[in-house]
């Protein structure tokens, strides 16, 4: 016999004999059972114990079954109510069903009819609960998505910042040396001969290097900014220039050569520039991780000749992805990297962003040969 011990049923009937028989029958089936001789006391028990199922007689003095049904549904829409009547009254049946009764059964109630009715009520209760849980899951997923996007972005930013520190340090050292040199020259007295011209050259170099540092920092700040998705026309050349600029020094440190082939006069796409940048940066980082001893990355931008898609391809000559891992790579927290090299958010983030843009991400890979990721965006 099935275990029904987690199910609590409240039975309301003004006839004590019927109440006792039904109570014993349900207890024999293994249910937890409470009883009440009238609608008012039944509703009070319902408030205290919150049963999953209520079985109520329809014709009772004072508060009748229809009123009980209505009050129970106001208390909790999740409680399933079975209405019993000794009269096959179509009008009452329609009214009960309009008030979301689980079932309407006629007296005398046979065991089979009772079990079928309770079975239907239980199935309705379980289905409703699953739908509510799924709705809560979707709400939570939507609420968490912005946080996940930002968390992944901060991971990428940390890795970028580590390499950018070195990239900024070089021009800053040059600026400091030129300033010290000009300071020593000024200490010797007025500028003579070709010294003013040299000073001018030094200042131009200082200005160029400061602009370079400023651009690097601006790009990092733009990438790190947490903002709501904002869709606008995105020009792929500008997007690629920004991504390559942010990644260039890290690529040099890892002895990786990056080439790009972006078709001229590509149409713009509707999207969020910052999120699309996050996708491309993630794919470049993945490619770098797959080539610890150096290699080649090739980025292509083109229009699909068969469909109105703009396609961004990031191709590497790295270790590739095994056939066993390929089906799972877009799952959150799934990673094939060694500990300390990632937590598996990057590709799931890319997948989510592309879905938001009504696009897609595809992968082509051979273990030991290399990998190509394709970002496809509707034009």
Beta strands 370-378; 309-316: pairing state? antiparallel
Q: What is the pLDDT of residue 342?
A: 43
Rounded Cα–Cα distance for residues 58 and 84 (Å): 6
Cβ proximity of 99 and 73 under 8 Å:
yes
Nearest to 290 by CA among 240, 329, 242: 329
pLDDT average, residue stretch 267-292? 87
The mean of the pLDDT values for the chain is: 80
Instruction: Indicate whether 305 and 160 sit together in one domain.
Output: no
Instruction: Indicate whether 233 and 354 sit together in one domain.
Output: yes
Q: What is the pLDDT of residue 334?
A: 47
Q: What is the pLDDT of residue 178?
A: 77
Buried b (16+ CB within 10 A) or exposed e, 95-111: bbeeeebbbbbebebee
Rounded Cα–Cα distance for residues 163 and 167 (Å): 7
Rounded Cα–Cα distance for residues 260 and 264 (Å): 12
User: Per residue in 139-156, pLDDT tens?
Assistant: 776 666 656 656 666 666
Q: 239 in a domain, yes or no?
A: yes
pLDDT grade for 51, boundaries at 50, 70 and 90:
very high
Instruction: Indicate whether 92 and 180 sit together in one domain.
Output: no
Whether the model pTM is above 0.95 = no
Between 138 and 56, name the one with better pLDDT. Answer: 56
Rounded Cα–Cα distance for residues 313 and 287 (Å): 12
Q: 125 in a domain, yes or no?
A: no
What's the CATH number where 64 sits?
Answer: 3.40.50.2300
Q: What is the pLDDT of residue 225?
A: 56
pLDDT at 49 over 60: yes
pLDDT average, residue stretch 267-289? 87
Instruction: Indicate whether 163 and 174 sit together in one domain.
Output: yes
pLDDT at 340 over 50: no
Q: 134 in a domain, yes or no?
A: no
Positive or negative CA dihedral for 165, 166, 167, 171?
positive
Number of domains composing the chain: 3
pLDDT average, residue stretch 316-334? 74
pLDDT at 251 over 80: yes
Give the chain's radius of gyration (CA, Å): 35
Nearest to 234 by CA among 54, 357, 335: 357
Between 345 and 373, name the one with better pLDDT. Answer: 373
Q: 182 in a domain, yes or no?
A: yes
CA distance readout (Å), 169 to 154, 166, 182, 206, 311 = 22, 5, 20, 14, 36
Q: What is the pLDDT of residue 344?
A: 42
- Say how many Å lie between the first and final Cα of the chain, rounded: 60
Q: What is the pLDDT of residue 161?
A: 65
- The upper half-sphere exposure of residue 157, i.e. CA atoms within 13 Å in the direction of its Cβ, equals 17
pLDDT average, residue stretch 244-257? 82
Between 263 and 163, name the one with better pLDDT. Answer: 263
Instruction: Indicate whether 210 and 235 sit together in one domain.
Output: no
User: Per residue in 87-139, pLDDT tens?
Assistant: 666 677 778 878 888 888 888 888 888 888 888 888 888 888 888 887 777 67
Q: What is the 3-state secondary structure (H, E, C) of 323-359?
A: CCCHHHCCCCCCCCCCCCCCCCCHHHHHHHHHHHCCC
Q: Record the tokens describing residue 268, joined without a space.
A: 């713009």
Instruction: Indicate whether 193 and 281 sit together in one domain.
Output: no
Q: 23 in a domain, yes or no?
A: yes
Beta strands 80-85; 103-106: pairing state? parallel
pLDDT at 58 over 80: yes
pLDDT at 201 over 90: no
Q: What is the pLDDT of residue 343?
A: 37
Instruction: Indicate whether 304 and 255 sit together in one domain.
Output: yes
Q: What is the pLDDT of residue 339?
A: 41
Q: What is the pLDDT of residue 85?
A: 80
Instruction: Indicate whether 162 and 48 sit together in one domain.
Output: no
Q: Look up the domain containing 201 and give its range.
A: 145-226
pLDDT grade for 172, boundaries at 50, 70 and 90:
confident
Please name the residue that has the structure tokens 């028990």: 45
Sheet harboring 8-12: ordered strands across?
A: 32-36, 8-12, 53-57, 80-85, 103-106
Q: 140 in a domain, yes or no?
A: no
Q: 160 in a domain, yes or no?
A: yes
Cβ proximity of 376 and 311 under 8 Å:
yes
pLDDT at 335 over 60: no
pLDDT average, residue stretch 31-47? 90
pLDDT average, residue stretch 295-310? 88
CA distance readout (Å), 151 to 18, 141, 225 = 62, 15, 12
Instruction: Indicate whether 29 and 80 sit together in one domain.
Output: yes
What's the CATH number where 158 sits?
Answer: 1.10.287
């Amino acid at each position: 016999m099935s275990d029904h011990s987690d199910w609590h049923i409240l039975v309301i009937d003004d006839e004590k004999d019927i109440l006792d028989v039904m109570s014993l029958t349900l207890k024999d089936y293994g249910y937890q059972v409470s009883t009440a001789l009238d609608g008012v006391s039944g509703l009070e028990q319902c408030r205290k114990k919150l049963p999953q199922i209520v079985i109520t007689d329809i014709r009772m003095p004072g508060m009748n079954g229809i009123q009980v049904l209505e009050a129970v549904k106001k208390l909790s829409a999740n409680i399933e109510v079975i209405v019993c009547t000794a009269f096959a009254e179509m009008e009452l049946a329609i009214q009960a069903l309009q008030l979301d009764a689980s079932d309407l059964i006629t007296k005398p109630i046979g065991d089979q009819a009772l079990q079928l009715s309770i079975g239907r009520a239980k199935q309705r209760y379980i289905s409703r609960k699953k739908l509510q849980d799924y709705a809560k899951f979707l709400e939570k997923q939507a609420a968490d998505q912005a946080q996940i996007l930002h968390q992944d972005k901060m991971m990428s930013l940390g890795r970028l910042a580590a390499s950018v520190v070195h990239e900024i340090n070089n021009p800053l050292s040059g600026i400091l040396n030129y300033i010290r040199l000009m300071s020593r020259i000024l200490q010797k007295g007025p500028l003579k001969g070709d010294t003013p011209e040299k000073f001018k050259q030094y200042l131009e170099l200082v200005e160029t290097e400061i602009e370079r540092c400023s651009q690097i920092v601006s790009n990092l700040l733009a990438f790190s900014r947490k903002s709501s998705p904002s869709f606008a026309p995105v020009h792929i050349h500008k997007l690629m220039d920004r991504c390559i600029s942010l990644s260039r020094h890290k690529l040099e440190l890892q002895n990786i050569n990056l080439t790009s082939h972006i078709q001229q006069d590509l149409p713009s796409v509707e999207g969020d520039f910052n999120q699309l940048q996050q996708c491309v940066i993630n794919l470049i980082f993945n490619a770098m991780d797959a080539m610890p001893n150096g290699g080649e990355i090739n980025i292509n931008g083109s229009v699909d000749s068969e469909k109105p898609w703009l396609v961004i391809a990031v191709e590497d000559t790295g270790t590739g992805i095994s056939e066993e891992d390929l089906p799972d790579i877009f799952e959150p927290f799934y990673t094939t990297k060694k500990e300390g090299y990632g937590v598996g958010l990057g590709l799931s983030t890319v997948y989510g962003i592309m879905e938001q843009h009504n696009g897609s991400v595809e992968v082509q890979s051979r273990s030991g040969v290399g990998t190509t990721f394709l970002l496809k965006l509707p034009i």
